[in-house]
Amino acid sequence: MSHLGNEPKTEMSDLSDQELVALFHQGNQEVIDQFLQRYQTRVYRLAFGILRNPQDAEEVIQEVFLRIFRKLHTFKGESSFSSWLYRVAINTTFMKIREKKGTEVMSLEEVERLLDQESAKAGATDWARRPDDELLSEEAIGVITDAMEKLPDEFKIVVTLRDIDGLSTEEVGKLLELSPAAVKSRLHRARLFLRKRLEEFYRQLYEGE
Amino acid sequence: MAEIGCDQFSNCLIDFVDGDLDQVQHALVKDHLEKCPLCEALMESYVKTIFILQKVNQVAPPKDMAIRLRQYLQSKLPSSL
């Protein structure tokens, strides 16, 4: 780490994760910087996506990378480095959730009941045709952020990995040990739930126009 | 050509939006959307929800997070850093 800035970073950044792990096994500690550069923002966003609290998310990434680098010498490459990292990040994030008492989340049954009430029909959804920059107000962002906080963790993690981190349905399924159908089911319900919250907000906002 | 109804549309909305339908199914959904403004509105708002969700979560880590992370690791892994 003390060498940061003196090393030919382009060379290190060209290496695959697997090659970096091999270098680490040979005693090269500088790969740690490269891994941090590659993954710290992604891990932070994953943790923040679930926890919705910057301080908690930061504590999680510290714990995640500490675990990863303490165990890296035993990493055999049976899964990809990024899969391993994601698994550690997910587990650490859920541990943080368990630490925090009193967080108000909806039960799966409550979410399902809400979604049943919703029905498949859209209702007043003209809002979706408004320009993107008009929709992306701070208030709208607050609405969807609040709605995310209310989702049960089982839904939140799927939305975060799939829609925010851009992992495929199959990748999410592997990480969470769910079938692709189960991933899709949770993702779909979560998206519908968030859509409903947005619709209520925009309906009030544009009422009377 | 076969047709699908609103219930069937609802069941395959996620696959339509995520591009997981085959060509025939995709054409059936498109055909239904042309005939059903309510399902079309549902689809549009569903897509827009995903769009807004992605924007919301493009959070930048706190300014000095990287420095604090390195300091933390340095204190815990002195031999490595």
The band of B14, judged by pLDDT with boundaries at 50, 70 and 90, is: very high
One domain, residues A137 and A87: no
Structure confidence at residue A2 (pLDDT): 47
Is residue A156 assigned to a domain? yes
Determine whether the interchain pair A144/B53 forms a contact, defined as Cβ–Cβ distance below 8 Å. Answer: yes
Whether residues A90 and A165 fall in one domain: no
Q: Which CATH number belongs to the domain containing residue A54 in this structure?
A: 1.10.1740.10
Residue A1 belongs to some domain of the structure: no
The amino acid at A125? T
Contacts of B74 in chain A (CB under 8 A): 1
pLDDT value, residue A120: 46
Residues B32-51 pLDDT 10s: 999 999 899 899 999 999 99
Touching B: A residues 44-73, CB under 8 Å: 44-45, 48-49, 54, 58, 61-62, 65-66, 69-70
> Rounded CA gap, A173 and A20, in Å?
26
Q: Cβ of A126 and B41 within 8 Å?
A: yes
- Give the nearest partner residue to A187 out of B9, B14, B51, using CB atoms: B14
Residue A1 burial (10 A CB sphere; 0-12, 13-18, 19+)? middle
What pLDDT is stored for residue A64 in this prediction?
97
The amino acid occupying position A29 is Q
Cα-Cα-Cα-Cα dihedral of A116, A122, A123, A124, to 10°? 140
Domain that holds residue A35: 9-99
Verify whether the Cβ–Cβ distance A1 to B74 is below 8 Å: yes
pLDDT of residue A203: 85
- Residue A167 is assigned to a structural domain of this protein: yes
- 8 A C-beta contact, residue A83 and residue A174: yes
Q: Are A59 and A92 in contact (CB under 8 A)?
A: no
Q: Which residue of A has its CA nearest to B12?
A: A188
Q: What is the structure's pLDDT at A163?
A: 87
Q: What is the pLDDT of residues A58-96, one digit of tens each?
A: 999 999 999 999 999 888 888 899 999 999 999 999 888
Q: Please report the sign of the dihedral spanned by the C-alpha atoms of residue A193, residue A155, residue A57, residue A81.
A: negative
Per-residue pLDDT at B58 exceeds 90: no
Residues A146 and A89 in one domain: no
pLDDT band at B80 (very low <50, low <70, confident <90, very high): low
Q: What is the per-residue pLDDT across A114-165, written as a single tens digit (0 to 9) for each? A: 655 654 455 556 788 888 888 888 888 888 888 888 888 888 899 988 988 8
Q: What does the H/E/C string look like for A36-47?
A: HHHHHHHHHHHH
The size of chain A, in residues, is 209
Task: Name which of A99, A117, A132 is nearest A193 in CA terms.
Answer: A117
Which of A62, A145, A187 lies nearest to residue B56, judging by beta carbons?
A145
**Helical (H) or strand (E) element with B12:** helix B6-17
CB contact under 8 A, B70 and A141: no
List CB contacts (< 8 A) between A160 and chain B: 57
Same domain assignment for residues A64 and A118: no
